[in-house]
Amino acid sequence: MPKISADTKRYYRERVRSIMAQEPMLSGEGIRRRLEQQGLVFDRNYINSLVNQIHRERAKRADTWTLNSALTALQDAMGEVVRVGWEIANDKFAEGRDRAAALREIREAYNLVFEKMFDAGVFERKLGTLDATIRNTPLTDEKKQAIEAVFANWGLLPAPQEDVTPATDKQP
């Protein structure tokens, strides 16, 4: 069987998704018959693989939705902490330690929100990682010579020996 392009697979998956949306309780065989009525004839295993892909996408969307709901609730709560903290920090009549504690709470609230967003994968940490394309790229001759000169300067490499030939002093 010839390879199916990604666009064609996407089209078939969307056709199956459409049928599943219209009749959620339809079996794989029922989907196969409906597709056959539309002129698309497939093996039941291929249809089941498309159905499984759609179920995986739905589960991922549900997980993402749940995670987003939890993150927004945390952001709302921490926003309230920050609002009250700023009221205390800007209060001229509050004691200095209360103002300092309020500023500390503001900082901790922002740190907590960002930490949870990092954990959720909203941002990607790049600390301590190296880009393999840069690391494995061969050095140019200029860079090699510059590195060798620095290493020789530091005494890590022996200094290059200059080609000194003894001069013959012939006096007439």
Query: Bigger pLDDT: 160 or 88?
Result: 88
Helices (H), 24-155: 28-37, 44-90, 96-120, 132-135, 141-154
* Token output for 12: 């078939």
Given this model, what pLDDT does residue 47 score?
A: 92
* Token output for 109: 């609230």
What average pLDDT does this structure show over 1-6?
Answer: 77
Is 158:164 a contact under the CB 8 Å cutoff?
no
The C-alpha atoms of residue 28 and residue 53 are separated, in whole angstroms, by 13
pLDDT digits (tens, 9 = 90+) for 42-60: 998 999 999 999 999 988 8
Given this model, what pLDDT does residue 110 score?
A: 92
What average pLDDT does this structure show over 73-96?
Answer: 92
Q: What share of the chain has pLDDT > 90, as a percent?
A: 41
C-alpha distances (whole Å) from 130 to each of 123, 133, 135, 136, 142 are 17, 9, 7, 10, 23
